[in-house]
Amino acid sequence: MTDYIIRPTAWLVAPANDPRLFSERGYRVEIDDEAAGEFVTVRDMTSHEARQVSIDCEAWPAVRLAIDSAFAEIKAHEDTADE
């Protein structure tokens, strides 16, 4: 039988009083990969084009925590992939 892992690859950062997946005041932090190595993307949920991310001071600590978590996940995954 094949072993499986559950790996977090996306985080929603939104106001506690509006935790909808598409909250207009939310951000999505994701680990992405286009076949050249993993990287982190941050998307402002108010924009469908995601060309620019605007983060207000109030949201920054939570967004930063999600980004740090994403990079830690990439490092942990790379470390286990090298074994």
Question: Domain spans of the chain?
Answer: 57-83
The answer to whether the CB of 13 falls within 8 A of the CB of 23 is: no
pLDDT digits (tens, 9 = 90+) for 8-51: 999 999 999 998 887 888 888 889 888 888 888 888 877 665 55
Residue type, 58: E
Residues 6+ apart with CB under 8 A from 41: 29, 30, 32, 50
Distance CA(49)–CA(69), nearest Å, equals 24
Residue type, 49: E
pLDDT of amino acid 55: 78
pLDDT of amino acid 8: 94
Strand ordering across the sheet containing 10-13: 10-13, 27-33, 38-44
